[in-house]
Amino acid sequence: MRLTRRHALVLPAAALARPGLAQANWPNGPIRIIVPFPPGGSVDTISRLLQPHLTADLGAPVVIENRPGASGAIGTLALARAPADGQTWAMVFDTHAVNPSLMPTLGYDTKRDLTTVMLVGTSPMLITTHKDRPWHSLQEVIAAAKARPDTITYGSIGNGSLAHLTMSLMQQAGGFQVVHVPYRGGGPMSAAAAAGELDMPMATNAGLGGQVNVTLRPLAQTGARRSPHFPDLPTVQDAGIAGIDALAWWGLIGRAGVPDPVLRRVHAAMARAMAMPEVRERLTGPLGIDVVGSSPEEFGVFLDRQMEVWGKVVRDNNIRSE
């Protein structure tokens, strides 16, 4: 599940060149980007960061519509039911790859009903603790959890989220037990983390809402290698638990059957938006995201692999959505 990180957005010149009219009648009114999570989380933040640039580039208002619930599945279902006319898209999170295994009655087929546009970027998840808690390393938390199983809590954006699956693997490999507290998205979990309601909030830097090294003390990161954004923060493997390589990710998807010229036009607009210095600085700075900016085809290959890897974790651990 390793993905090569690109520390500069590298795109073919053709992708940045402004194409001709993709379709004579497109766009036909406002363009909708569904965010299948509540306001305040990382998916919402990234979508709103790109929104004004896409509006200017595509020549039509780009409207962000939050439709949270079911780890992103409710909003994604709305996209799957939308006409394949290029007026509706969705920004999804890593739960998009887990949901088909987690919820067999999604109401849509991820491969048949949807199409990939761009993998925006990836990021390790950060295992943190509130500054008022006594721990200063992951090893200290694990020792406390072994001494008193099921007394230490960790938070995620929901059952079946990447944080939930990763911590399940960590508990198996490390021989400790902690209590999962799921929330309905990054915004609610970030608020709970700030209030000190959790022992170990677990999310990306973006999902933790600027609290790392302020309200929250980082303990470890979940990638196989240290992110350039957190070079001094140990990986989970550095902390003594081998085999953990989990990266959160964000990507734009569309309705299957959308005309290819329209899809390419949206992809090119995304590429130009992400090449804007102010956008790049926000993504790689406070949000701590390793920008990728893939082609639609590269994102499709990546998504297939994510579905395979995390689907197996769901099945092997008998994880349910509720």
**What does the pLDDT look like over 290-314, one tens digit per residue?**
999 999 999 999 999 999 999 999 9
- How many angstroms separate the Cα of 94 from the Cα of each of 100, 107, 245, 304? 12, 19, 14, 12
* CATH code for the domain in which residue 156 is found: 3.40.190.10
pLDDT for res 318: 85
Terminus-to-terminus CA distance in the chain, angstroms?
A: 26
Q: Are residues 35 and 93 in the same domain?
A: yes
What CA–CA distance (Å, rounded) separates 85 from 117? 15
**Is 264 inside any structural domain?**
yes
pLDDT for res 106: 92
Token pair, residue 286, equals: 């406070």
**Is 143 inside any structural domain?**
yes
**Is 252 inside any structural domain?**
yes
pTM for this entry: 0.84
Q: What residues contact 143, with CB distance under 8 A and at least 6 apart?
A: none
Q: Are residues 147 and 93 in the same domain?
A: no
Residue 78 has pLDDT above 50, yes or no: yes
**Is 279 inside any structural domain?**
yes
Q: Are residues 184 and 270 in the same domain?
A: no
- In the chain, DSSP finds a helix count (H) and a strand count (E) of 11, 11
What CA–CA distance (Å, rounded) separates 16 from 275? 9
pLDDT for res 38: 85
Q: Are residues 58 and 115 in the same domain?
A: yes
Q: Are residues 73 and 86 in the same domain?
A: yes
β-pairing, 88-93 with 31-35?
parallel
Convert the pLDDT of each residue in 15-55 to its tens digit.
Answer: 444 444 445 689 999 999 999 988 888 899 999 999 999 99
Q: Are residues 185 and 158 in the same domain?
A: yes
Q: Are residues 44 and 95 in the same domain?
A: yes
* CATH code for the domain in which residue 84 is found: 3.40.190.150
pLDDT for res 317: 84
**Is 159 inside any structural domain?**
yes
**Is 228 inside any structural domain?**
no
Q: Are residues 211 and 78 in the same domain?
A: no
- How many angstroms separate the Cα of 39 from the Cα of each of 11, 44, 78, 198, 247? 30, 6, 17, 21, 22
Q: Are residues 209 and 255 in the same domain?
A: no
Q: DSSP E strands: which ranges in the chain?
A: 31-35, 62-66, 88-93, 114-124, 126-130, 153-156, 179-182, 200-203, 216-221, 247-255, 290-291
What CA–CA distance (Å, rounded) separates 157 from 185? 4
Q: Are residues 128 and 186 in the same domain?
A: yes
Convert the pLDDT of each residue in 106-160 to its tens digit.
Answer: 999 999 999 999 999 999 999 999 999 999 999 999 999 999 999 999 999 888 8
Q: Contact 97/307 with Cβ under 8 angstroms?
A: yes
**Is 233 inside any structural domain?**
no
Range of the domain at 198: 124-221
Q: Are residues 217 and 262 in the same domain?
A: no
What CA–CA distance (Å, rounded) separates 182 from 60? 37
* DSSP 8-class letter at 240: T
Convert the pLDDT of each residue in 191-219 to its tens digit.
Answer: 999 999 999 999 999 888 889 999 999 99
Q: Are residues 116 and 129 in the same domain?
A: no
**Is 165 inside any structural domain?**
yes
Q: Based on the structure, what is the number of domains in the chain?
A: 2
pLDDT for res 24: 67
